[in-house]
Amino acid sequence: MANGSLSVGHAAIDLLPQKASTRYFRRLLISAGVLPPIHVLQHELTMYVSSVAGTLERNSANTLRRFYRWEVLPRLHRRYRDRGRDLSVGTFTVNRGQIRVIARFLTWLLERDLAVAELDQATLNHYTARNSGSETVNHFVRWAMRSRLAGGLITFERTPRTPLAAVTEDELWSAIDILVEGDDIEREVRIVGLFTLLYAQPLERSVSLTRDRVSVSDQRVSVRFGSTPIELEGAVGELVRLHLAAPPRRGYAVGDSEWVFEGMSPGAHLSAAYIRLRLREQRINARVSRETRMNLLAMRMPAAVLADVVGVVGATADRRKERTSGIWSQYPDLRT
């Protein structure tokens, strides 16, 4: 691209091996305004599917492409693209692994001179009992049956998750004190952790907060996790104020970032996995702590308010309310 033998564009970057350094380079050029913005991880996943399909026999490759186009992409688009967001790193990694599992299953069938349409129950059971990724294979087979690519087969649904163990409320407040008073802990880790411990926010949602969802004035600091802004009082509000006033971490491009918690990779937000690791060093389990906070909030406020403030859908708030047997007596005051 530098000497003009290739046009400056994403197509040229696509010729490189798609690894972390290539992703950084692509994002660097996007951040600098050299390349038009795209959803980088979504683009990489699509390229990965094409690459894997290229290693398969023609009919198997077409089946894999159809599965990705009609089953995987619509779900990812609803969750990410339609909201103007790129895939999270975790979602990208999981879906790439699932494509690999399905390609391995299709190869196994081909080695036995079987097409998906010829798959029988005994063969499916034989494979899923002896290979990893049985949940993914069963998902693929259910899609194949809906798409009339396979006959009537019995598949096994994912085993329901057992409820997470919860910490006590005293333990939760002890963890909050660690983050409020921990001046030796990175400020981003403290803020994101407090969003989880106080407001039941998943790490993935907190790290992807955009600056337009945070309001800072001389009098108050507020953040919008759902449809209703929450005023951040005391130490939490002060931490957010200091964080937004600090110089950016990046040194790779000019201009303001849209992210509240900017990552080290150009144009990307901070990784939830990084925050989770740093919290574990403080003996704080983010998932378990969030479970406790969600239960406490559900006990003390109506489902409609919980959905508005925390940013969950109404059905989720209703289920949580039923599970915790929360009370409604505070509804008028909370709604006001």
pLDDT tier for residue 161 given thresholds of 50, 70 and 90: low
- Backbone phi, then psi, for 238, in 5-degree steps? -70, -40
- Give percent of the chain above pLDDT 70: 87
Q: What angle is formed at CA 146 by the lines to CA 141 and CA 149, rounded to 5 degrees?
A: 65
Please tell me the predicted confidence (pLDDT) of residue 258. 83
Please tell me the predicted confidence (pLDDT) of residue 169. 87
* CA distances, 334 to each of 164, 180, 199, 206, 323 (Å): 28, 26, 15, 24, 20
Element (H, E) at 216: strand 214-216
The amino acid present at 113, given as its one-letter code, is: D
Please tell me the predicted confidence (pLDDT) of residue 85. 85
Closest Cα partner for 210 from 250, 164, 177, 256? 256
Closest Cα partner for 112 from 101, 102, 100, 124? 124
Q: What DSSP designation does 211 have?
A: G
SS3 11: helix
Average pLDDT over residues 47-76: 96
pLDDT in tens, 108-153: 999 999 999 999 999 999 999 999 999 999 999 999 999 999 888 8
- 271, two tokens: 């990784």
Cβ neighbours of residue 140 closer than 8 Å, sequence gap 6 or more: 67, 102, 105
CA within 13 Å, CB half, 43: 16
Closest Cα partner for 200 from 179, 182, 226? 226
pLDDT in tens, 265-324: 888 888 899 999 999 999 999 999 988 888 888 777 777 777 777 776 666 656 666 665
Task: Assess whether pLDDT exceeds 90 at residue 59.
Answer: yes
Q: pTM for this structure?
A: 0.77
